[in-house]
Structure 1
Amino acid sequence: MISNKRNHNDQTMEKTSSHKTTRHPLKQMTPQQAFHAGKHGKADIHMHSTYSDGCATIQQILDHVQNNTTLDVIAITDHDVIEGALRARDFWSKGSYRFDFIVGEEVTTKEGHLLGLFIEKSVPSGLSMERSIDLIHEQGGMAVIAHPLHRLFRHSCQREVMDRIHAAKDVWFDGIETWNASFCGIYANRVAMRTNREIYHLPELGNSDAHALNSIGSGMTWFEGKNAVDLRKTVEAGLTAAGGKLWDVQDYFQWMRHRVSKQGREARKTRSEVQVA
């Protein structure tokens, strides 16, 4: 699906222009500010399960979100595989969960990680950023740049790529993570916020990038409404706000224990089998 990028960007810039003058260039919005601004919905749409390199199963994630968070919308975005998210949607649709669910994937492009949201088919890894974005848009999905501008993380999209997409006429990012709660955001969040607010003016999202249950909800996106449709409308209007906290130390320990444990090895073997099948 190729659309008119100029119209898309112009509309977003018009709707976010007031935000540019009121937001500090290096600060995320607080929960109190989000609430008073009418952004009552809370979403975390970047997290991982045992279908990639996360600690928790699909069912554990759904139960944790239901019982231990106040999130209104989540997405499971495993690395280069969509089967876990599709299975999670099946579980979610048969349950009585109070939150809404989005199918997603974290795509490994040649030039950084990219979130594909509201998709139905996996986007292959190893493609150019432009081709990956197009494959997401062709499904009617949204392409959100994940944890950008980290100088040391090889899967973080850098300025030259973002500048190239920004200058293109027929390809675009639908949003940008300006708050990532993992190690990817420790210093890069401030860089992403400042750069986006000065140059790109993309809708801002905050996410946990959770690999352990307790990390879920540490980063979040505030939006107007309560469900996935409302979230998408708020992103498209450029009215989302990003914020949260960074992972706790125990979250790193849990993730690393999982990766070196027998359970972790078995999960990685299962993931490899799924990707080959």
Structure 2
Amino acid sequence: MPDGLAMAEVHAHTRASDGMVDAEELVRAAAAIGLRVVCVTDHDTIPDLGGAVETGAALGVDVVRGEEVTASFPPGIHIVGLFVERQVRMHMSVEDTVDAIHDQGGLAIVAHPFMPTWFASMTSRRARQLLETHTVDGIEIRHTAPVLPGAWKMMDEFYAEHRERIGAAVGAGDSHFGAHDLGRVVTVFPGSTAGDLRRAIEQRTTSPLTQAAKPHSPPLSMRLAQQYRSMVWLPQQRRTGRVGARGGRAADDVQPGVRAGRDARGARGAGAAAVPGGGPAAVGGAVAVAVPERGVRGGDGGRAGARQRRGHH
């Protein structure tokens, strides 16, 4: 990784939802492949991350508190909230979900869009509808969910057309298996800390990077166990109210390491350099995806329109 840049996993799961590792294992796996920030974004819940923060402090990895929120069902579109302090209730509209994340100072990221399914993912039509009244902070322009041929080209064109309101281009591994799947897709950002990652998202100086690592696939038994956890156990937790109800600890209870990025909110860090564009480029054997240039605005405009989006539903 070039000097001045670092890698982050902005979308990862633990056993608090349908992941197969605990948060401490996730942090150790992140450190092993050189990630400097890992965002824990379990489905519709926010676990206690105190142990993960301590592990990260010892290994040089910042831990960000997040949540992957399931919006109204069907189709149950997913929105990732980063730097959140309290759990966001599931099954609100997409617009209300974005507002709830912003109301507590978090960043709202569109998760794994343009999947060939009617659930969990946002279509281009629904994204345009959202952007008519709201701005978001980023979109997973590269991710590991299944897509149809031509989807990445369509994604790049959509991003170029709507960059003014869709926010930063990020890469998300959507990790569920820790060391077995971390690093397939990451976000590259200027700096090295959670606060730097937040500024980079706000200033749109992030870039997705594929193949940052090539982990060994999880064994079949682990994959089957994860599918059971995702398709059977997690829905049961939602139905019984153990997952998905509005809740979470108060702001004063947030662990110091998790709070780091939020404390930097609003700092604009002039001079942060974007990841080089101009076409895919090799970075240590990985592939940096060039961010489409149409509609680029200055770094200081990353939160423009915040007043406009408040109150829209």
TM-score > 0.5 by shorter chain = yes
CA distance in 2: counterparts of 1:197 and 1:127, whole angstroms: 28
Q: Confirm whether residue 275 of structure 1 aligns to residue 239 of structure 2.
A: no
Q: Deviations over 1:65-122 (max 9, x none)?
A: 23x2100111011111112xxx224431365130111000000112511000000111
Which residues of 2 match residues 206-217 of structure 1 at below 5 A?
206-213=171-178, 214-217=180-183
The partner residue of 1:92 within 36, 53, 67 is 53
Q: Confirm whether residue 109 of structure 1 aligns to residue 71 of structure 2.
A: yes
CA distance in 1: counterparts of 2:40 and 2:149, whole angstroms: 22
What's the TM-score, normalizing by structure 1? 0.74
Taking only the aligned residue pairs, the percentage that are identical comes to 25
The partner residue of 1:121 within 82, 86, 99 is 86
Which residues of 2 match residues 1-277 of structure 1 at below 5 A?
35=2, 40-66=5-31, 68-83=32-47, 87-93=48-54, 95-110=57-72, 112-168=77-133, 171-183=134-146, 188-201=151-164, 202-213=167-178, 214-245=180-211, 250-251=217-218, 253=220, 255-259=222-226, 274-275=242-243
CA contact (8 A) 2:45 2:244 kept: no
Unaligned runs of 5+ in 1: 1-30
What's the TM-score, normalizing by structure 2? 0.66
**Residues 186/269 of structure 1: CA separation in 2 closer, same or farther (3 Å cut):** farther
Shift of the alpha carbon at 1:50?
Answer: 1.1
Letter in 1 for 2:22: T
Shift of the alpha carbon at 1:185?
Answer: 8.2
**Residues 185/119 of structure 1: CA separation in 2 closer, same or farther (3 Å cut):** farther
**Residues 148/266 of structure 1: CA separation in 2 closer, same or farther (3 Å cut):** closer
CA RMSD, 1 decimal = 3.0
Q: Deviations over 1:225-260 (max 9, x none)?
A: 000111111111111111214987824846522236
CA distance in 2: counterparts of 1:161 and 1:260, whole angstroms: 27
CA contact (8 A) 2:181 2:216 kept: no
CA distance in 2: counterparts of 1:187 and 1:53, whole angstroms: 29
Shift of the alpha carbon at 1:183?
Answer: 2.8
CA distance in 1: counterparts of 2:214 and 2:92, whole angstroms: 30
Unaligned runs of 5+ in 2: 246-313
**Residues 138/269 of structure 1: CA separation in 2 closer, same or farther (3 Å cut):** same
CA distance in 1: counterparts of 2:161 and 2:233, whole angstroms: 45
CA distance in 1: counterparts of 2:65 and 2:157, whole angstroms: 29
Question: How many corresponding residue pairs?
Answer: 235
Q: Deviations over 1:134-173 (max 9, x none)?
A: 11001100000001122325111112221122221xx311
CA contact (8 A) 2:71 2:93 kept: yes
Give the secondary structure class of the aligned counterpart of 2:60.
coil
CA distance in 1: counterparts of 2:61 and 2:110, whole angstroms: 24
CA contact (8 A) 1:51 1:267 kept: no
CA distance in 2: counterparts of 1:54 and 1:172, whole angstroms: 30
CA contact (8 A) 1:148 1:158 kept: yes
Shift of the alpha carbon at 1:45?
Answer: 1.1
CA distance in 1: counterparts of 2:43 and 2:219, whole angstroms: 18
**Residues 190/80 of structure 1: CA separation in 2 closer, same or farther (3 Å cut):** farther
Give the secondary structure class of the aligned counterpart of 1:96.
helix
